[in-house]
Structure 1
Amino acid sequence: MIKNIGKKVLFFTISSLLCCMLISCGGLSEDTTDTTITSGNLDSITAQYNYLKSSVVPLIIAGIDTTIGQASGFTASYDVNQYNITYTTTDANGNSTLASAAVFVPSTNTNVNTLLYLHGSTSIDNDRPTYASISYNTTNPALTTHTVEGENAFAIALASEGKIVIMPDYLGFGASSELHPYIHAGTLASASIDAVLATQALENSSVTEFTMSDKLIITGYSEGGYATMATHKELVNNSSSYPTIVNKIVGVIPGSPPCDLSVSMANTMLNSTNYPTPAFLPFLLYAYNNAYSITTNVTSFVKPEYASAFTDLDTKTKSLGDISADLPSTPNLMIADNFKAEITAALADYSTDRVLDTATASGFYEKLNDNDVYNYNPGPLLPYYILHLNADNTVPIENSEVAVHHMTTIGTATSAAIGGNIALIDPSVGMATAYTAGTLTDHSAGFVFYILTTKGIANTIFQ
C-alpha cells in the first residue's frame, strides 16, 4: 500500500533520468531466450540488459533527494546484468500458472549474497520489475531511452554494490494476465518463493555465470513489506518444503507492512478520516472476490457511483492515484451500506479478543483474518527488522506494533531492547535499540528512509 507519486505508486518520480542514464554495454542481447532449460520450475530465461557501474549512482541521486542520496553512500562497484525470467507458480485456486521476475546480477559473480526484494503497490502493468530496460545511443547519449522506475533503480544500485537482487512481478503483471491478487498472502508468498527457486535454476543454466552464496535476506516496502512477512511466514510454517531456501535466510526486513488487515487496516478503511489513496480499498475487494468468489457481482461491495473503480483496475494502465481521484477521500463513504454494517459489526466483535464469535453473511471479514501475516513465530535467532514510520498516514504503525507484540509474547522472538533479535525502527529517525518515534507522515517519503536503512542493515548482516 503506497501513496501515488507521479506515475508509480509509492515510488519516486524519475523523469530527470534521461540526462544521467544507466548505460547499456551491449554485452547481452535483448530478448535472447534459452528454451532448453527445464531444471526446477524455471520456464524461460531472457538475458536483456547490462548497466555500467558509472551510471548507477547518478541514477539514484537523480531519483531522490540529492542530500539523502549522497549521504546513503551508494558506491557502485560492479556492472549489473538484468535477466528477465518466467517460472511456474500457484494461483489463488491452487492451479499452476506462469509468473515472471527480474533478476539483477553484479559482474562479481561468485558466491554472491542475495536480496529477495518485493515491490510495493501498483495497478499498472508497465510498473512491473521486468519492464525495466534501456536502449543506449552511443552516438548521442542524450538520446538514450529507458524504462527504469524507482524501485528498479534501487535494485540496480544494490546489485551494483555486489548483491543479487530478485524482484518478482507478482501474479497479475508481466507473464501473468489475471488481475493482481492484491494483499493476498498465499499468492504473494508462492510467487516470491518460486522466484527464488527459479533463480537457483538460473544459476545453474548454460547462459549465465554466477553462483549464489548461502545468505538470503527478504525485504520489501508497503505491499512489499506485507509480501515479505507472508513469504517468511510460509517458509517458517512449512520449512520442510523449501530445503534450498529456508536455511539460507539470514535476515527479514519488512517496511511499513499492512500485516494486520483484520483490525488495524479495517479500522483505517472504516473510520471517518481522509486517506491518501482510497483506491486501495476497491483493489483489495476486487482481488479477494476473484480469489474467493464471495459474490457474483463485485460492484455490490460499493455504492453504484464508485463501481467504475473496478473497470479502471481491469485496464492495468490507470494508476492508483488516478483511480483515487474519482473516489471519496474517506474510504468508508464508498462502501455499500449493508456491507459496511456487516464489516463494522465483525470488526467490533473480533477486535475485543481476536476471536470472531459470529460469522459474517458474506464471509469477507473471515478472508481478511485469513490473510493477516503478523501472526507467526519467526524464532529467537533470525535478525528481524520492521521499519515503519511512527506517524505513517497510509499504513498505521499499529500494524507493526501488533506484529512485534505477537512475535515476542506468543512467538519466541525477543526484543532488541533486551538484546533480542526483533526490532521496530522508525527509519526516518535512524537505528536505535529502543524505538524512537519520528514525525514524518508521508508513506512515500518513508520509502526513501526504508531503502537507505535496509541497505545498511543488509551490509551489516552480509559481513
Structure 2
Amino acid sequence: MRTPTRTRMLALACAGLVLATATGPAALAATGAPASHAVTIDDRGTIVSADLLARLSAGQIAAYLTEAKFPVPDRPQGADLYAVVYRTTAVDGTPTTASGVVALPHRSRHGLWTVSYQHGTLATKAGAGSVSDGDGRAAPLMFAAAGFAGVAPDYLGLGKGPGFHPYMDAATEASASLDLLRAAGELAAGKGRSLSGDVLLTGFSQGGHATMALGKELRDERGLRLRGVAPIAGPYDVKDAELPALLGGRLDPGSATFYLAYWTVSMNRLHHFYDSPSEVFQDPGVERLFDGLHNFDEIVAGLPASPQDLVTPAYLKSVSQPSGPLLRALEVNDTTCAGWRPGVPVRLYAGRGDRDVAIANSYHCLRDLRASKVKVSLTDVGDVDHFTSAKRSLPKVLDWFTALRDARR
C-alpha cells in the first residue's frame, strides 16, 4: 500500500531524530580564512568555518542509525560531526560560499578513504544537513562509523549558503560537491587525520543525479582518485524518462506536481523561459513557494493535486514538446551519464515500483554508461516506492564500498 505523499517525501529527509547526544553545537576556530575574507576562484574548497555538531561514541551512532533506519556497519566506530562553510562558485562562475557536513571517525585516523553522499530534493534551506537532522547527517555518520571520512554537501543555496538553490543544475551540483571534498581534506588535517585521496560517491534521488555529475567532474581532479560510484534512483534523464512518466500518469500526482513546480521555478532562474509566473502556472503564487524559506508543509499546502492543475495548458504542451530555452535546460542537465571514461566501476540502484523517479531514468543511464564502455550494473531492488528503494540500496552500497577499500589495503 502506498503511503501518503508527505510521509514518503519526508521519510529520509526528516528522520525525526535530533542529535541529542551531541556535546552541544560548539563553534570551532575556523581552519580556513575568516568569513570576511574576499572569496576568489583560487580559494575554492577552503574553509570559512567549521562547527562541531556532535561527538558520538560507537554505541550512540549505532542507536542513531538504527532509529533513522540506516544500516549499522560491523564494529562501528565513534565519530565527530561538523558543519562546514566553504568557498565555491555560483552558477555564473563568481565566488560564493556553500555549506555541508563532514564526519570523521575516531579510531581510523590516517589514509582515510572518503565517501561523498549527495542528498535528495530539498526546497527549504533549513532542511539541509548543516543546519538540520536528516539523511544529510545520517549518511556521513554511517560511513564514518565504517571507518571512512563521510561528507554530504548541502549544494548551493541550501543550509548556510546564500541565495536560491539551483535545483537539478548539474554543473553546480558537481562544483559545490567537489569543493566540499577539498574542504574535508583541510578539516581532516586540522583534526589530526589524513585522507588518502581515494573517493567513493553515492546519493539518492536528486543526489543520484548530483553523484553522476560529480563523478564526471572528478575525472580531471588532481589529488583525488575516483574508486566507485553508486547512485540510487536518480532522475538522470528528465526529458526522455521522467517527463514521459509524469505526462503519462505513471508518477504519483502529488510528487509529480511538487517536482515539476520546483524544477520549473529553478530552471527559469537559470535559462529564462518565462517572464511572469502567470505564463506557466495557473496560480502565479506558486513561484513564491520556492524561495528557500517556505517549509515543506507550506509548499504542499500551496500546490494543487496534479500537474494538470498546476500549469497552464500551453506550458504543459511545451513540456511535452520542449524547444528553445526549455529544451536547452533539459539537454544541458540530462548528460550526467554520458561521456564517461572507462575505468571506474558504477553500480546503479533503483526500484521498479518507484512512482517519484521512474526506473526508466536508471535504464537510460545504464545504456549511456555502457556506450562509454564503463563497467556498470543496475540492481532493481524491487516493486517498492522511492524511499524504500533507498533503504534497500544503502546496505548494498555500504558493503560494496567497504569491499573496494579493503581490497586495496
Q: Structure 1 residue 58 and structure 2 residue 68: aligned? A: no
Partner in structure 2 of residue 337 of structure 1: 313
- What do the CA deviations read for 1:374-424 (whole angstroms, capped 9, x no partner)? 442333332100001122111111111111112213x122xxxxxxx2100
Partner in structure 2 of residue 124 of structure 1: 124
Tell me by how many angstroms 1:333 deviates: 3.3
Tell me by how many angstroms 1:282 deviates: 1.2
Aligned residues: 392
After superposition, residues 292-303 of structure 1 pair within 5 angstroms as 292-303=271-282
Give me the whole-angstrom Cα distance separating, in 1, the residues matched to 2:272 and 2:291. 17
Partner in structure 2 of residue 77 of structure 1: 76
Tell me by how many angstroms 1:60 deviates: 1.7
Against the structure 1 CA distance between its residues 455 and 251, is the aligned structure 2 distance closer, same or farther, given a 3 Å change threshold? Answer: same
Give me the whole-angstrom Cα distance separating, in 2, the residues matched to 1:81 and 1:115. 15
Against the structure 1 CA distance between its residues 53 and 219, is the aligned structure 2 distance closer, same or farther, given a 3 Å change threshold? Answer: same
After superposition, residues 173-192 of structure 1 pair within 5 angstroms as 173-192=158-177
Partner in structure 1 of residue 243 of structure 2: 266
Q: Note if contact 1:332-1:340 (Cα within 8 Å) is conserved in structure 2.
A: yes
Q: Structure 1 residue 290 and structure 2 residue 234: aligned? A: no
Tell me by how many angstroms 1:153 deviates: 2.0
Partner in structure 1 of residue 209 of structure 2: 226
After superposition, residues 237-248 of structure 1 pair within 5 angstroms as 239=220, 242-245=221-224, 248=225
Q: Note if contact 2:117-2:139 (Cα within 8 Å) is conserved in structure 1.
A: no
Give me the whole-angstrom Cα distance separating, in 2, the residues matched to 1:315 and 1:25. 29
RMSD (Å) for aligned C-alpha atoms:
2.5
Q: Note if contact 2:118-2:207 (Cα within 8 Å) is conserved in structure 1.
A: yes
Q: 1:30 aligns with which of 13, 22, 27?
A: 27
- What do the CA deviations read for 1:214-271 (whole angstroms, capped 9, x no partner)? 32101100000010011112333xx2xx2122xx110001110100011111213323
Identity of aligned residues (%): 20
Q: Note if contact 1:276-1:329 (Cα within 8 Å) is conserved in structure 2.
A: yes
- What do the CA deviations read for 1:36-94 (whole angstroms, capped 9, x no partner)? 48976313232413112211111122222xxxx6xx55335322112222222222222
Q: Structure 1 residue 443 and structure 2 residue 386: aligned? A: yes
Tell me by how many angstroms 1:279 deviates: 1.1
Q: Structure 1 residue 390 and structure 2 residue 352: aligned? A: yes
Give me the whole-angstrom Cα distance separating, in 2, the residues matched to 1:34 and 1:79. 22
Q: Note if contact 1:57-1:75 (Cα within 8 Å) is conserved in structure 2.
A: no
Give me the whole-angstrom Cα distance separating, in 1, the residues matched to 2:364 and 2:259. 21
Tell me by how many angstroms 1:301 deviates: 1.6
1:46 aligned counterpart, secondary structure: strand
1:58 aligned counterpart, secondary structure: helix
Letter in 2 for 1:300: E
Q: 1:310 aligns with which of 278, 283, 287?
A: 287
Against the structure 1 CA distance between its residues 94 and 187, is the aligned structure 2 distance closer, same or farther, given a 3 Å change threshold? Answer: same
Q: Note if contact 1:5-1:11 (Cα within 8 Å) is conserved in structure 2.
A: no
Letter in 2 for 1:275: P
2:253 aligned counterpart, secondary structure: coil
Against the structure 1 CA distance between its residues 7 and 268, is the aligned structure 2 distance closer, same or farther, given a 3 Å change threshold? Answer: closer
Q: Structure 1 residue 460 and structure 2 residue 403: aligned? A: yes
Give me the whole-angstrom Cα distance separating, in 1, the residues matched to 2:289 and 2:260. 13
Against the structure 1 CA distance between its residues 300 and 452, is the aligned structure 2 distance closer, same or farther, given a 3 Å change threshold? Answer: same
Partner in structure 2 of residue 161 of structure 1: 146
Against the structure 1 CA distance between its residues 333 and 4, is the aligned structure 2 distance closer, same or farther, given a 3 Å change threshold? Answer: closer
Q: Structure 1 residue 213 and structure 2 residue 214: aligned? A: no
Partner in structure 2 of residue 255 of structure 1: 232
1:186 aligned counterpart, secondary structure: helix
Letter in 2 for 1:301: V
Q: Structure 1 residue 412 and structure 2 residue 373: aligned? A: yes
Against the structure 1 CA distance between its residues 73 and 42, is the aligned structure 2 distance closer, same or farther, given a 3 Å change threshold? Answer: closer
Give me the whole-angstrom Cα distance separating, in 1, the residues matched to 2:179 and 2:398. 24
Partner in structure 2 of residue 235 of structure 1: 218
Partner in structure 2 of residue 135 of structure 1: none
TM-score, structure 1 as length reference: 0.78
Q: Structure 1 residue 44 and structure 2 residue 27: aligned? A: no
Structure 2 unaligned regions, length at least 5? 38-42
